[in-house]
Amino acid sequence: MKRPEDMIAQKKPLAEASSRAKKKRKANTNVKNEKSEEKDSDRPKRPVSPFFIFMEQFSNFPKEMFPENAVRKAGTEKWNSMSDTEKLTYDVEFHKRMDDYNKAMKSYRRKANDAKDEAKDEDSGKSTSEVQIHDQ
């Protein structure tokens, strides 16, 4: 049987390891925050899933019908009880939104590539006519 002193001595290294892990996690969250600041606000947003399209409409019911947190629970229960054919309307809406998103992303990428090309031309120190002549 272990003595209480041995158990306390054994917990100290674990506590130190735990505090090191906390510091490491905190450092990683700072890196994540820096990355999130770099995101482009002009980038199109991905469409939400069919379930969340359903929840957008379901949560428009009068607030008196459900308390605050009960809306999510009731919506989830309703979604789970729906047949696949009932869910199909939300799936169709999702695919429409996804098509719009894909079109917007193509346009966004085209603009981003054009901006990169312009920046590359400016960095080269040559005018665009010189770049076109040398590229031919």
pLDDT tens, position by position, 90-119: 999 999 999 999 999 999 999 888 887 777
Tell which wins on pLDDT, 6 or 72. Answer: 72
Among residues 128, 105, 4, the alpha carbon closest in space to that of 47 is found at: 105
pTM: 0.55
Q: How many Cβ atoms from other residues are within 10 Å of residue 126's Cβ?
A: 13
pLDDT surpasses 60 at 135: no
Residue 129: alpha-carbon gap to chain centroid: 41
42-125 falls under which CATH superfamily?
High mobility group box domain (1.10.30.10)
**Phi and psi dihedrals of 10, rounded to 5?**
-75, -30
Tokens of 90: 């939300």
pLDDT of residue 128: 54
Q: Give 65 or 71, the one with higher predicted confidence.
A: 71
Q: Find the DSSP H helices in the chain.
A: 4-37, 50-58, 70-81, 84-124, 128-135
Angle between helices 50-58 and 70-81 (to 10 degrees): 130
Cβ neighbours for 71, distance < 8 A, ≥ 6 positions apart? 58, 59, 61
Q: Given the structure tokens 């009731």, which residue do they identify? A: 74
For the segment 51-63, the average pLDDT, to the nearest whole number, is 82
What value does the mean pLDDT of the chain take? 77
- Could you tell me which residues come within 8 angstroms of residue 75 by beta carbon, excluding any fewer than 6 positions away? 54, 55, 58, 59
